[in-house]
Amino acid sequence: MEKREDRRIMMTKRMLKDALIEMLKEKDIYHISIRELCERADVNRTTFYKYYGSQFDLLTDMENDMIEFLTKTIKSNEADPEKIISSACNYLEGNIDFARLIINNNVDPSFAHKLFTMDCIKESALKKFAGNKSEAELEYIYNFLVYGAFRMVCVWLNKEERESPEAFAKLINQMMLNT
């Protein structure tokens, strides 16, 4: 019985998330009302408030889904940066509408900062360089690698005919290895 409820909750949240993505293509989050969001998702407002306090809480939940996926991917593939990048790109491609909205800073300009302050990303990015560099050098290298890769992902995501996630991951990884 519990599992059935979990599936219904997951489906309701998915409908709300999909509705928010569609609405964010039309207007910014500050102009989206809960009433409109619930109508678009075909969900009762009471149900919405059972899970979220506002449209911003729903957006935060969506961002946290992405961050959680990245964290798990990094931790389970620490020794294989190309696999991490490829998995992340596959995730972004599978969630292309939301990825474009969030990566292009159309929704939450602070999202990139949230990503780059994740300890697991910093640790993973700097593992290769940690031995013979000063703290200042490591900070520069980290910012160069991560912000450069982020800009590449932005360009890749916005292309209509983009390379496969695996080919793109290989390119980013090659560039990082040459740093």
Distance of CA 169 to the CA centre of its chain: 16
Q: Which amino acid is at 90?
A: N
pLDDT of 154 above 70? yes
pLDDT of 106 above 90? no
Q: Dig out the tokens for 166 from the structure.
A: 């695996």
* Arch. (CATH architecture) of 1-53: Orthogonal Bundle (1.10)
pLDDT in tens, 110-133: 888 888 888 888 887 777 777 788
Nearest residue to 167 (alpha-carbon basis) of 158, 179, 156 = 156
Give me the mean pLDDT over the 156-166 stretch.
93
pLDDT of 4 above 60? no
Distance in angstroms (rounded) separating the CA atoms of residues 153 and 156: 5
Q: pTM for this structure?
A: 0.86
Nearest residue to 155 (alpha-carbon basis) of 146, 166, 163 = 163
Q: Is 42 left (phi over 0), alpha (psi -120 to 50) or beta?
A: left
Q: State the pLDDT at residue 42.
A: 96
Give me the mean pLDDT over the 151-158 stretch.
93
Q: Dig out the tokens for 69 from the structure.
A: 């996926």
pLDDT in tens, 29-81: 999 999 999 999 999 999 999 999 999 999 999 999 999 999 999 999 988 88
Please count the other Cβ atoms lying within 10 Å of the Cβ belonging to residue 48: 23
Asked whether 85 and 172 are in contact (CB, 8 A), the reply is yes
Q: Which amino acid is at 26?
A: E
pLDDT in tens, 13-29: 999 999 999 999 999 99
Q: State the pLDDT at residue 146.
A: 86
pLDDT of 2 above 60? no
